[in-house]
Structure 1
Amino acid sequence: MRSMCVVALAHQTHPDWPLILIGNRDEFHARPAAPLAEWDDGSGIVAGRDMQAGGTWLGAHRPSGRVVVVTNVRGAMPDPAKESRGALVSDLLRGEGRFADPAAEDLPRFNVFNLFAVEGGAARLLTNRPVPLVMPLDPGIHALANEPVDAPCPRAERLRLALEATVAAGSDPEGLLDTLMAEDDPALFLRGDVYGTRASTLVAVSASGDVRMIERRYEKGGRPIGTTALTFRIG
């Protein structure tokens, strides 16, 4: 799973929404995926689903409020013998399974990735490029794309600044979905016919535990094909 390619996280900074996660998933248009929904397996996961490998790139866990997102990292050929990054996300969301609480030494088992995991008032960065790392994140605004975490990435910085402006204004984070597909900013939204942006997703969790998730989906050429908006309470 190639996974989402640019994402920004506001952790404990917005006056109304202590967690805001916003990002674009870029993928081959031919790869099948199910829209955002609560999974029917009793796991409590609310996410889109990669129908080829069975995992997800971004999701929330309704009972606990956990939120996890993964990106791939450019410059490395995928190894089919490695563990699924989508399974890593699913286990982290459920809080159970082989990869529910991975240590740094577990991370080389996966193809290269960057990942944000948020639970309660704590957030972590997990990555295995350039070195395996599990690191707590301070309150603030953080961004990832498909570059190693020690490399500058204009795409991630563009989204980080947009999220920073939303937080500074105390604005409704839903407007960030328009930023993600702005016609005048091709760095964030890829309009390819074979490979491109498949979905823009917002997760916003309020201080009282109300969750808003919105997914806008696109087909080749960046043409909209549907939107799902869900609201629920943690627990």
Structure 2
Amino acid sequence: MVYPVHYSPFTVHWFMCLILFAHQAHRNYPLILAANRDEAYARPAAPAAFWDDHPQIYGGRDLEKGGTWLGLTRCGRMAAVTNYRNRNAGRTAPLSRGALVSGFLTSDSDTETYLERVKAQGGQYNGFILIAGDLEALYWLSNRGPGVARIPPGVHGLSNHLLNTPWPKIKRSKQAMEALLLSIEEMPDNAHPSSPTLLPGGEGRFAAQMDCHPFMQNSISAGEAELAAKLFELLSDRSEAPDDELPDTGVGLQRERELSPIFINGDRYGTRASTVMLVDKDGDVLYIERGFGAGGKPLGEVATRFRLENLTSSTMPGDQAAVRA
């Protein structure tokens, strides 16, 4: 399956414009992630799936360069990338930023070693912000920032600037996720029903790819469905920020307005995929991706469940985990 391609002369690629995640901030979920991938519609991409050439990797794929914007392995390695937006964002660089994610997911190096190696080669990429790690420890690096840094537990947001830069969409989405985590703090442990629960907004399609464990086949708990639906609602916010709150990244006021919503609704460029990823304390992953075309037209949904391998108790938050600002 390949999302339909619409030709456009728009050639500056601003992929994965929002990554919102709660890292060890809820007792039942060591990782909750909600993300929008924003890109020119002319750039071909495949929706989330296990990769034929690297079956340990699950994620979407850029069909132009072969990398990805967000991915997870069966062993729990996770990485995601955004670009750093400024007036020079479209300059030619020898290496693809999408390869930073796939490179980490296929690497045997520990996270810090990999990121230090990337840091040394940072001048060969256009501006990027890379998140990488596992359930126990996440790190971030930008070739426009100070260096490799560990991400503390809590709710974090990333767009096209450094981690937690207080752009309007980051402030709004972080506040929404923090409130959501508080509302589900007493959610009971997941109990998987015998039949799937359709998520609102999925256009009646639930293309399940339940993997490996019979007790997880064709199942999504009511609690998971509610949490995922609220995260997708957050990701669908198309409201523009007021002019006096917009950043100045050198692209002009009108473009800043167009890029300010959480969900970007354009004709040549916009939100191509919305992703919700839930990893619970048992290492069960629920990964849901919705694809969109020009004007925000829904193109379909895939939902996959699988269990992470080789987990240890050190990767899980304690019972005292709480939302941290």
Give the stretch that moved more between structures: 176-185 or 39-48.
176-185
SS at match of 1:60: strand
SS at match of 1:157: helix
Say whether residues 1:141 and 2:215 are aligned partners.
no
How many pairs align?
232
Q: 2:5 maps to what in 1? A: none
SS at match of 2:95: coil
Say whether residues 1:181 and 2:236 are aligned partners.
yes
- 8 A contact 1:212–1:232 mirrored in 2: yes
Q: Output aligned runs, 1:84-163, within 5 Å.
A: 84-96=96-108, 101-103=114-116, 104-129=119-144, 131-149=145-163, 151-163=165-177
1:116, distance to aligned residue in structure 2 (A): 1.7
With over 3 angstroms needed to count, the CA separation of the structure-2 counterparts of 1:91 and 1:204, relative to structure 1, is same
With over 3 angstroms needed to count, the CA separation of the structure-2 counterparts of 1:160 and 1:33, relative to structure 1, is same
SS at match of 1:167: helix
- 2:81 corresponds, among 70, 73, 78, to 70
- 1:197 corresponds, among 261, 264, 271, to 271
- 8 A contact 2:156–2:163 mirrored in 1: no
Instruction: Give deviations 1:8-56, integer Å, cap 9, x for gaps.
Output: 1100011211101111001011110001100001341100000001100
- 1:11 corresponds, among 23, 48, 58, to 23
SS at match of 1:3: coil
- 1:211 corresponds, among 274, 277, 285, to 285
- 8 A contact 1:43–1:94 mirrored in 2: no
SS at match of 1:102: helix
SS at match of 1:214: strand
Say whether residues 1:168 and 2:182 are aligned partners.
yes
1:151, distance to aligned residue in structure 2 (A): 4.5
Letter in 1 for 2:237: A
Query: Which whole-Å CA distance do the structure 2 matches of 1:203 and 1:93 have between them?
Result: 17
1:93, distance to aligned residue in structure 2 (A): 1.6
- 8 A contact 1:8–1:144 mirrored in 2: yes
1:66, distance to aligned residue in structure 2 (A): 1.2
Give the stretch that moved more between structures: 118-127 or 179-188.
179-188
Q: Unpaired runs of 5+ in structure 2?
A: 1-12, 188-223, 241-259, 310-325
With over 3 angstroms needed to count, the CA separation of the structure-2 counterparts of 1:24 and 1:39, relative to structure 1, is same
1:152, distance to aligned residue in structure 2 (A): 2.9
1:210, distance to aligned residue in structure 2 (A): 0.4
TM-score, normalised relative to structure 1: 0.91
Instruction: Give deviations 1:123-156, integer Å, cap 9, x for gaps.
Output: 1111111x35110011111110012448431112
Instruction: Give deviations 1:160-191, integer Å, cap 9, x for gaps.
Output: 11221121112643020121113556711111
- 8 A contact 2:237–2:261 mirrored in 1: no
Say whether residues 1:26 and 2:41 are aligned partners.
no
Q: 2:203 maps to what in 1? A: none
Say whether residues 1:59 and 2:71 are aligned partners.
yes
Query: Which whole-Å CA distance do the structure 2 matches of 1:17 and 1:26 have between them?
Result: 26
Q: Unpaired runs of 5+ in structure 1?
A: none
Give the stretch that moved more between structures: 134-143 or 171-180.
171-180
Query: Which whole-Å CA distance do the structure 1 matches of 2:36 and 2:108 have between them?
Result: 27
Query: Which whole-Å CA distance do the structure 2 matches of 1:80 and 1:182 have between them?
Result: 32
Superposition CA RMSD, Å: 2.1
1:114, distance to aligned residue in structure 2 (A): 1.1
Counting aligned pairs with the same residue, the percent is 42
Letter in 2 for 1:92: F
Query: Which whole-Å CA distance do the structure 2 matches of 1:218 and 1:140 have between them?
Result: 29
Give the stretch that moved more between structures: 180-189 or 33-42.
180-189
SS at match of 2:102: helix
| Higher relative strand content | 1
With over 3 angstroms needed to count, the CA separation of the structure-2 counterparts of 1:29 and 1:220, relative to structure 1, is same
Q: 1:44 maps to what in 2? A: 56
